[in-house]
Amino acid sequence: MTSDCTEDDVRKMDIGDPLAAVREKFHLPAGVVYLDGNSLGAAPKAAFEELNAAAKSEWADQLIRSWQGAGWWALPETLGDLLAGLAGAQQGEIVVCDTTSSNLYKALHAALSLRPKRPVILTEAEGFPTDTYIAEGVKSVRENIELRLGSLDDNNIDELLDDSIAAVLINHIDYRTGAVRNMKQITKRIHAAGAIAIWDLCHSAGVYPIDLNGANVDFAAGCTYKYLNGGPGSPAYIFAATRHHGELSQPLSGWWGHMEPFAFEPTYTAAKGIRRLLCGTQPILSMRALKAGLDIYADLDMVDVRQKSMSLTNLFINLIDQECQGHDVEVASPRDARARGSQVSLSHANGAPIIAALTARGVIGGFRAPNVMRFGFAPLYLSHHDVWRAVAHLKEVLVSEEWRQDRFNIPGHIS
């Protein structure tokens, strides 16, 4: 912006926001500007009703009968089908279950089994750490597997690919910078090298349009407690393209993935479709809260969601430029909104106490060592005026240097 952006300008942006009414579907605590929805999403009001119905009517009153009568048994697929609409998947290609880490574990083993002569897993040197940890876990039990780590952005992935690579595990959006990877282009290159493409969607699902089938992705996984607003530790999900369902195997072969789970057969036979990616009994109460989060998307157009996400992050960067000059704050995310997810990372040598000082003011963001302040902009429940307030507080924290107080120099919180 060439001329200064005013609070009035910002209020006008909210008036024109087609998603403004969606905010009412969330419980947001008074006095808080919540910019950590990329870590734990806000609570949909309907989640309380879902939990109440699941606990009181279904569990307490109907007891065991709810496994069929209330659709508990089918919830991994029911929720997976809701997610499919957000992710460019078909019905029956996603199940909600377990954790992102265990789902990536299944996907990596499945990929290695589909490429039995190739020994290498390629993943990101600076991706979300659990991805690498899980790849190490796979390597620890499987003979002759190697890990290769690299920087897998659009420009240089080719030089890391060769015919030894069985699978590439890559994040759709970088958790530190918010940089978006070109899913279609990268998957094409992975396939050209004969490898299987596994995408981690943790930081894109719910805020960025995803077209898994359009990009010809093989497997994907992600969590639901960030922008999908499923609640603390709500179960994760896994996608497998239909073309793989026939030969797909994974070693977490528990009874929920069995073709006839109630026949109590002595040996394992995998279910025919996506259920073969299930393992054990899933946490129904947590899944029901998640259902409330996913239901909100039924009325939304992801184009509007993405548009608002870009509008919020653009405004934040513009206001940082306008208001926070001279305080050693650097924008660490791509400045081009098209290359950025729904977060903006700022670097500052004293990021940790600055985040703590902001939190004390009710502006909640996250911190990642060594110096990254992460601000997530959840387009479903944030307004442009929230962004204005956040930057106003950040400016005050920087100008006053209140972050130097001892009480803000504390160990980081989970985010």
Residue 104 CB, shortest distance to a second copy, in Å, is 8
Taking a C-beta distance cutoff of 8 angstroms, is the pair 358, 367 a contact? no
User: Which one, 55 or 193, has the nearer CB to a second copy?
Assistant: 55
Residue 377 CB, shortest distance to a second copy, in Å, is 15
- Binding mask 235-274 vs a second copy (x if CB under 8 A, - otherwise)? xx------------xxxxxxxx-x---xxxxxxx------
* Contacts (CB under 8 A) with a second copy, residues 20-39: 27, 29, 32, 34, 36, 39
| The only residue of 7, 233, 404, 409 in contact with a second copy, by rule CB under 8 A | 233
Residue 311 CB, shortest distance to a second copy, in Å, is 23
- Binding mask 341-360 vs a second copy (x if CB under 8 A, - otherwise)? ------------------x-
Q: What is the largest CA-CA distance in the chain?
A: 73
- Binding mask 129-148 vs a second copy (x if CB under 8 A, - otherwise)? xx-xxx-xxx-xxxx-----
Count of CB atoms situated within 10 Å of the CB of 322: 14
48 binds a second copy (CB under 8 A): yes
Identify residue 75 by its one-letter amino acid code.
L
| The only residue of 20, 46, 59, 164 in contact with a second copy, by rule CB under 8 A | 59
| The only residue of 241, 364, 394, 397 in contact with a second copy, by rule CB under 8 A | 364
3-state secondary structure of 201: coil
Count of CB atoms situated within 10 Å of the CB of 138: 22
* Contacts (CB under 8 A) with a second copy, residues 94-123: 98-102, 105, 109
Catalytic, out of 26, 34, 128, 375:
128
The whole-angstrom separation of Cα 361 and Cα 384 is 18
| The only residue of 5, 10, 42, 352 in contact with a second copy, by rule CB under 8 A | 42
Q: Taking Cα atoms as reference points, which of 405, 359, 388, 375 lies closest to residue 176?
A: 375
- Binding mask 394-413 vs a second copy (x if CB under 8 A, - otherwise)? ------------------xx
Whether residue 288 lies in the annotated active site: no
Catalytic, out of 105, 208, 225, 367:
225
Token output for 118: 């190739």
Residue 152 CB, shortest distance to a second copy, in Å, is 14
Residue 8 CB, shortest distance to a second copy, in Å, is 29
* Phi, psi for residue 158 in degrees, rounded to 5: -55, -40
Taking a C-beta distance cutoff of 8 angstroms, is the pair 249, 271 a contact? no
Whether residue 200 lies in the annotated active site: yes
Q: Taking Cα atoms as reference points, which of 152, 217, 221 lies closest to residue 180?
A: 152
Q: Which residue has the tokens 């897993």?
A: 121
Q: From residue 40, give the alpha-carbon distance in Å to each of 154, 217, 306, 377.
A: 29, 26, 19, 12
The 3-state DSSP composition of the chain as helix, strand, coil percent (nearest 5) reads 45, 15, 40
Identify residue 14 by its one-letter amino acid code.
D
Q: Of all helices (H) and strands (E), which one includes residue 33? A: strand 33-34
Q: Taking Cα atoms as reference points, which of 286, 287, 262, 270 lies closest to residue 109?
A: 270
User: Count of residues binding a second copy (CB under 8 A)?
Assistant: 94
Residue 336 CB, shortest distance to a second copy, in Å, is 26
| The only residue of 46, 51, 160, 300 in contact with a second copy, by rule CB under 8 A | 51
The whole-angstrom separation of Cα 136 and Cα 159 is 22
74 binds a second copy (CB under 8 A): no
The whole-angstrom separation of Cα 48 and Cα 50 is 5
User: Which one, 12 or 56, has the nearer CB to a second copy?
Assistant: 56
Whether residue 374 lies in the annotated active site: yes
Token output for 128: 């979300």
Whether residue 340 lies in the annotated active site: no
Residue 164 CB, shortest distance to a second copy, in Å, is 19
Whether residue 272 lies in the annotated active site: no
User: Which one, 10 or 289, has the nearer CB to a second copy?
Assistant: 289
177 binds a second copy (CB under 8 A): no
User: Which one, 99 or 322, has the nearer CB to a second copy?
Assistant: 99
Residue 399 CB, shortest distance to a second copy, in Å, is 25
Q: From residue 408, give the alpha-carbon distance in Å to each of 12, 207, 334, 362.
A: 35, 31, 29, 14
Identify residue 290 by its one-letter amino acid code.
L
Q: Which residues are catalytic?
A: 128, 200, 225-226, 374
